[in-house]
Amino acid sequence: MKSLFSKKVIAVLMVLLLASSLAAACGKNNANEGSKNNTGNPATNNGGSKDSNQSSGPANLTVWHPLNPNAQAVVQSLSDVAMVQEWEKKTNVKFKFEHPTGTNADAQQQFGVMVASGSYPDLIIWHMSNFQGGPAKLYQDGVIMKLNDLIDQHAPNLKKILDENPLIAKQIKADNGDIYVFPNLKIGDHGKYKTFSGQMIREDWLKELNLEAPETVDEWENVLRKIKEAKGIFPYTSEKGTLLGSSSSMDFIGAYGIGKDFYLEGKQVQYGPLQPGFKDYLARMQQWYKDGLIDPDYASNDNAAKEAKMTSGKAAATFGYIGGSIGSWLPAMQQSNPDAMLKGVQYPVLNKGDEPKFTETGWDYSNTGALLSSKIKNPEAAIKALDYLLSEEGSLLKNFGIEGTTYNMVDGQPVYTDLIMNNPDKLPVGQAMAKYFIANYPFPGVDDDRYNDQYYALDAQKDAVKVFAQYSHNAASVLLPPIALTPEEASEYGKIMTDINTYRDEVVTKIIMGTAKVESFDQALEQFKKMGIDRAIEIQQAAFDRFQNR
């Protein structure tokens, strides 16, 4: 009996041992599989997306990114865009897009709610100025991760650009050397266009009245008066925030040798409204408004109202964009008036022969790009997919779409097909592009000027880009680079400038409309001091000095 019992015990133990071994083996395999699917933070896990992509299918990534107006008109999501689908195939990644709705302010509110919830997407693609305190604050708050190691290990295209172009690296890096953004860049032989907007005027009316395109402020005044007399309209229109409001655009202020906000004079940061020339500007605008040269509704117009006035002939000139303004307004005008024509006009100066310095010109880094959230489970796959857009093949895909469908190579140059240039559904060129690829997006990767050469299909657009870009090189002497405030500075600066901008816009509007005297701006200067403008300048100066030392 004892022998039989011992044999039974031994048999049971052998079965248990075998089962235990099988469980351990399965557990090991599952653990390996789990590490492939969930690589975690690269700072604590050296796993990569290569094995994950090969062994377990595409990496799934969520992307938060506002749709631009052209895309909103033709797609529900970037997932519907053929270029994105091809990008997914090339990089073995599956993107799920989350698009906020409404205006930029609405998107900022929705972003704030999302951050407060603690639930973040894998990627966030937007302009960095939309984040209070910038990427450094998001990193400090644990919302995003830094990318230095990921770029060194998994982004050879971006790493090569940064290694070979110290000034670009300087623009992208934080003051301490951290990199938080996978950037959108305008570089190389096909990245010279950095000016896309400026003053534009009805060229057919200039010819009709035997007038030359204005260059100086005095010439502008003469032209606007002649058009008003001949056409019985308020010739210069604008929209809320453009005539020295808080939105970013240069109207006539640059002619007075100052910027509308912060700018450089040598290596010193200055604030435009504090300079004597600012009152001269206000006096001129007030007189123009009094004389009926400026649209009386300028302070309440939205873009649609401004567009309606330009296309209906109720206005003759405004500040606008080569693509979104000339490209859409001119065809609308010519439907009712085939002779209608718009002309891009050089940024105004005070004296004939002066070269404008204050132009709507950007740096190599557009301050737009992708942030990787701290919640991302596969950062390597994300960084590899983004880096693909910096490759020659990826850049063509981003800017031109799919060869044979949206473009063909002709004599070594990518040329859009009729699907884009003469869309069978009658889509405007900008919307046709947005339906098939993301060239007209502030999206990670390299922008290619050969896209603009074709996007600007109208002769008026081709002429305007040359006019606006003629003196864009001068802006480097006055344009603040993409400096970075510390989170503490950003918080303090934001509070100061929110109050100052609101107050400034209110005062400027009253003066231009004549309900307050130009001399009353002296009181505003005193109020700026009380509100902390000197401290705001000090913060900007410190950030610029740090940028210089990067």
State residue 190's pLDDT score. Answer: 66
Tokens of 337: 């008036």
- Amino acid identity at 349: V
* Closest by Cα among 182, 185, 200, 212 to 237: 200
Q: How far apart are CA 277 and CA 229, in angstroms?
A: 29
State residue 56's pLDDT score. Answer: 63
Q: How far apart are CA 231 and CA 373, in angstroms?
A: 56
Highest averaged pLDDT of the listed ranges 112-121, 163-172, 228-237, 423-432? 228-237
State residue 131's pLDDT score. Answer: 85
Confidence band of 4 (pLDDT split at 50, 70, 90) = very low
Summarised one tens digit per residue, pLDDT across range 58-69 is 999 999 999 887
Residue 530: partners with Cβ closer than 8 Å, 6 or more residues away:
none
Q: How far apart are CA 74 and CA 98, in angstroms?
A: 16
Confidence band of 70 (pLDDT split at 50, 70, 90) = confident
Summarised one tens digit per residue, pLDDT across range 172-227 is 999 889 999 999 998 876 667 778 889 999 999 999 999 999 999 999 999 999 99
CA-to-CA dists, residue 205 to 159, 210, 237, 295, 432, angstroms: 52, 8, 16, 18, 31
* Closest by Cα among 223, 477, 463, 480 to 355: 477
Average pLDDT over residues 390-416: 95
Summarised one tens digit per residue, pLDDT across range 443-453 is 999 988 888 78
Highest averaged pLDDT of the listed ranges 131-145, 234-248, 367-381? 367-381
pLDDT above 70: residue 504: yes
Helix 156-164 with 379-388: angle, nearest 10 deg: 60
Tokens of 542: 């410190």
Q: How far apart are CA 361 and CA 355, in angstroms?
A: 15
pLDDT above 50: residue 27: no
Q: How far apart are CA 492 and CA 478, in angstroms?
A: 24
User: How many CB atoms within 10 Å of residue 520?
Assistant: 13
Confidence band of 488 (pLDDT split at 50, 70, 90) = confident
- pTM: predicted TM-score of the whole model, two decimal places: 0.76
Please tell me the total number of residues recorded for the chain in this structure: 550
Higher pLDDT, 465 or 538: 538
Dump the DSSP string for 109-135. Answer: HHHHHHHHHT---SEEEEEGGGSTTHH
Contact present, 197 and 468 (Cβ < 8 Å): yes
Summarised one tens digit per residue, pLDDT across range 217-268 is 999 999 999 999 999 999 999 987 667 654 445 689 999 999 989 999 999 9
pLDDT above 60: residue 165: yes
In the chain, helix, strand, coil percent, each to 5? 50, 15, 35
